[in-house]
Structure 1
Amino acid sequence: MSPVKTAPAELTAGDAALRTKYLTEVLDLLYPWPCRTDGSPGTPIAEYLVVPDARRPRLLVPAESRKVAAAAVRRYAEPQSRAAKLKRGAVVAAVRTGASAVLLRDRVRVTGPYSSSIDGYLSERLGRELSVSVHIGPARANRKPVLQLIGPEGDTFGFGKLATGPLTQTLVRAETAALTALASSGLTKLTVPRVLHAGEWRGLPVLIQSALPVWLPRAPLTPRRLVAAMLDIAGCCGFTTAALASSPYWHELRARIAAVSDRPECAGLGPAAELLVKHVGDATFRFGAWHGDWAPWNMANLADALLVWDWERFATGVPIGFDAVHHELQRRIQTTGDARDAVEQTVRRSGELLAPFGVPPAEREATALLYLVDLAVRYLTDRQAEAGARLGVLGTWLLPVLIRRVEEL
């Protein structure tokens, strides 16, 4: 498993302030009273280097061991650009050689009773010595502490998620259930993490999963391999068929739309969804499972394995092909940065994207548009706009294209 999604290369002053505030919140959560994170005298629990600094915190790196610190940085995320790779290499070299004392000046020293800390909880539950590295992510409604668990020899053996509010509690429990179900589903085309521990700490759900070897050399990913893996997931819990209007999927989606009907954005979304289903008529759809957030940053292709993580949106009974549409949309947004055009181009490619999934030609564009309805409802339900998510305001990118394309069917 890879611990995080990549963050933008530059942060605004507002972003930096929010990250600094979130860093304080995370430390208070992981090291509650009587633990102290201000360097007060007491029994040492942990010491962290703040990368790159306290004003723009992205990663807390254990400072007690150079070997552990280097592993924490090296396996924190796969850089998406040459510049990012060079920066990561510089930080790894700094912590490995001891130069971090000069280059990484900001530190957090934690003192107090070990048993009251997240370190103590995890060490006891997993039955081994460990160090914790903490990712400080960008603003999102589903943001939660993501913990990289590292052994004394620098081996990353697990990643943990600790829920906070109601949404993240739901997601952590959902991912636990998904990974438990997938472990016995007979998948052959992809590799998913194993659950190492699932429980509660101070009343909050905790999920610890095995670390997938994302640090191994990557191999080019062919469309055939990606489709084969998505089909593997689609059928892992069986298939069903039904007319869309009478399907359990539409019944549930309609209820989700109704639950956010008070939101201004839903004034156009609800009618568009109804018009889309009316247009489809009595056409029979095939339903199966989907990952729910199959994006380029949630996977790694090796020579002999396709690794896929972040299963908190896994669901069954959805139209076949949703994963392919989602992956294409996220890939385009990541590549171009133009979210509105990415929606437009993804819908235009729906025929090509959905053909390998056996979706009849007449239903392919409707399937892609139905996926967009589903995604929009997710954003509204999660309140991504209120959380400050970069694409939280749907009226700037997703809804205009969705509504127009439905009206043009």
Structure 2
Amino acid sequence: MTVEVAASTDPRTRTDGLGWVSRAVFGNERVALTVGGEPPAGHRALARYAVVPSLARARFLLPLGAPRATTASLLAYNALRPPKVRAVRAALGTLSRVGALQRGFPTLTVSVPAGEEPAELLLAERLAVALGGAPLHAACGVRPPDPNHKPTLQLFAADGRPRGYAKIGWNDATRALVAAESAALRALAEVTGVADHPATPRLLAQLDWAGQVVAVVEPLPSRVQGVPVTDRPRIAALLAVARRGRPAAPPRPLAGSPFLARLAAEAARAAGAAPSGARAVAAVAGLGRRYGRTTVEFGHWHGDWVPWNLGLHDGRLVAWDWEHSGQDVPLGFDLAHDAFQRAVVLRAEPARTAADAIDAQLDRYGDRLGLAPAQRRLVADAYLLEMWLRTWRLADGGAGWNAALHPALLDVIEKRDTG
């Protein structure tokens, strides 16, 4: 295997995924990054990473110097990954065990000026302090630059024990998502002993770091397995998430609800920022006109309830990625989201077909949520509007428009309003 040599090239100058991740994780200009060479004069090396498989096609930054941590970063939670990804990671894990990663791939050296406090300059060092002071070894996946993605550090002890996942919010959109998940996990820590409620990772730390918002979430159970994408919706779990152990709330009219007021306020902000926002204002008005007198139960929702955010451990459901969680939404939003995302993400169907999938899923399972036909239609139409407003919030925060949902989702909403 040939090792690329780029003796003094700082990857933060790159425009690809490696550059994007390097800037997010090693953003302080006093931190030196060198590939294939030694630290600059007057610096001391604090960490080394294998860039896998190459600088041009980087997919992983794997920590070197603690073989068990390196191997664990490749093999931990492989049961959650697709078979092809699992096979690649298993092969890399074998290379790690025999010490071949450092010989077979480019090495990125991270160093700081001698005499400088590492925890003031390096995020991984600061996280080690936040988690008790023991040294941590961080692995990071490398993805193409995307303003909606959050670099995530997998944190391990030297012996390979997982210590946590650190999500980095680096622009307005992702900072808001990381902060929202932190708040959600704090609230969920108080939800205990609720039958059918999924287990939820605890928030270990949240910190502001060099203009970023960073949340550290505890590791998932080591034997967690993914929920099959063909799995039927788990209605009891959805109800437990919505009610959090409380009795069913009395249905209330959509008109006058905090939910409708929030949609109206967000649509008004969208109208002031984007030409399409006026269409959202009209859509909220149409929703109130059609369903204002319809009563529905309001409650919490996970916000991104999809099979790839769910797992099973010892027979219990586990749910993660709560960054879109919220309250005071119509009961059934998670069920609608599950159908919509399966259609858009798994089957690459257009928004209009995904909206039909929502209707079909609500018709099939809605009675188990206590939803009559009129309430199902309210849930479906309100959810679609909620999703467009989420799309706008992300775009307004710097993440750019989701081409699969904008403007197609507004077209679908308007057609349902007049259909």
Distance 1:49 1:40 in 2: 16
Distance 2:195 2:216 in 1: 23
Q: 1:242 to 1:144 in 2, by over 3 A?
A: same
Distance 1:19 1:266 in 2: 32
Q: 1:76 to 1:226 in 2, by over 3 A?
A: same
Matched to 1:255, the amino acid is A
Question: Bigger radius of gyration, 1 or 2?
Answer: 2
**Which residue pairs with 1:40 in the alignment?**
39
Name the TM-score, length of structure 2 as normaliser: 0.84
Aligned to 1:176, which of 171, 179, 182?
Answer: 182
Q: Secondary structure at the match of 2:221?
A: coil
Q: 1:393 to 1:185 in 2, by over 3 A?
A: closer
How do 1:110-129 residues align onto structure 2 when only pairs under 5 Å count? 110-112=110-112, 113=116, 114-115=118-119, 116-127=121-132, 128-129=134-135
Distance 1:170 1:248 in 2: 21
Aligned to 1:234, which of 235, 242, 250?
Answer: 242
Q: 1:142 to 1:200 in 2, by over 3 A?
A: same
Does the aligned pair in 1 maintain the 2:241–2:302 contact within 8 Å? yes
Aligned to 1:251, which of 252, 261, 270?
Answer: 261
1:22, distance to aligned residue in structure 2 (A):
0.9
Distance 2:204 2:227 in 1: 28
Matched to 1:28, the amino acid is F
Q: 1:110 to 1:337 in 2, by over 3 A?
A: same
Does the aligned pair in 2 maintain the 1:68–1:153 contact within 8 Å? yes
Does the aligned pair in 1 maintain the 2:173–2:398 contact within 8 Å? no
**Which residue pairs with 2:164 in the alignment?**
158
The superposition leaves residues 177-197 of structure 1 with CA deviations (integer Å, 9 ceiling, x where unpaired) of 211111112244210011222
Distance 1:98 1:389 in 2: 44
Q: Secondary structure at the match of 2:54?
A: coil
The superposition leaves residues 230-268 of structure 1 with CA deviations (integer Å, 9 ceiling, x where unpaired) of 111100185363211210110011100111114233343
Does the aligned pair in 2 maintain the 1:140–1:384 contact within 8 Å? no
Q: Secondary structure at the match of 1:260?
A: helix
The superposition leaves residues 206-231 of structure 1 with CA deviations (integer Å, 9 ceiling, x where unpaired) of 32121112643457699677211111
Q: 1:143 to 1:278 in 2, by over 3 A?
A: same
Structure 2: give runs of 5+ residues left out of the alignment.
1-13
Distance 2:283 2:91 in 1: 50
Structure 1: give runs of 5+ residues left out of the alignment.
1-15
Q: 1:337 to 1:139 in 2, by over 3 A?
A: farther
**Which residue pairs with 1:364 in the alignment?**
376
Matched to 1:22, the amino acid is W
User: C-alpha root-mean-square deviation of aligned residues, in Å?
Assistant: 2.7
How do 1:39-58 residues align onto structure 2 when only pairs under 5 Å count? 39-41=38-40, 42-58=43-59
Does the aligned pair in 2 maintain the 1:351–1:365 contact within 8 Å? no
**Which residue pairs with 2:218 in the alignment?**
210
**Which residue pairs with 2:11 in the alignment?**
none
How do 1:326-405 residues align onto structure 2 when only pairs under 5 Å count? 326-340=337-351, 341-383=353-395, 387=399, 391=403, 394-395=406-407, 397-405=408-416
**Which residue pairs with 2:10 in the alignment?**
none
Give the fraction of aligned pairs with identical amino acids, expressed as a percent: 28
Aligned to 2:317, which of 292, 298, 306?
Answer: 306
The superposition leaves residues 28-50 of structure 1 with CA deviations (integer Å, 9 ceiling, x where unpaired) of 32xx1322112523211111122
1:77, distance to aligned residue in structure 2 (A):
6.2
Does the aligned pair in 2 maintain the 1:139–1:389 contact within 8 Å? no
Q: 1:52 to 1:352 in 2, by over 3 A?
A: farther
Distance 2:263 2:310 in 1: 27
**Which residue pairs with 1:25 in the alignment?**
23
Matched to 1:370, the amino acid is A
How many residue pairs were aligned?
Answer: 389
Matched to 1:164, the amino acid is W
Greater RCO, 1 or 2 (C-alpha within 8 Å, sep 6+): 1
Distance 2:179 2:314 in 1: 32
Distance 2:207 2:216 in 1: 9
Distance 1:346 1:97 in 2: 50
How do 1:255-334 residues align onto structure 2 when only pairs under 5 Å count? 255-261=265-271, 262-334=273-345
Does the aligned pair in 2 maintain the 1:322–1:367 contact within 8 Å? yes
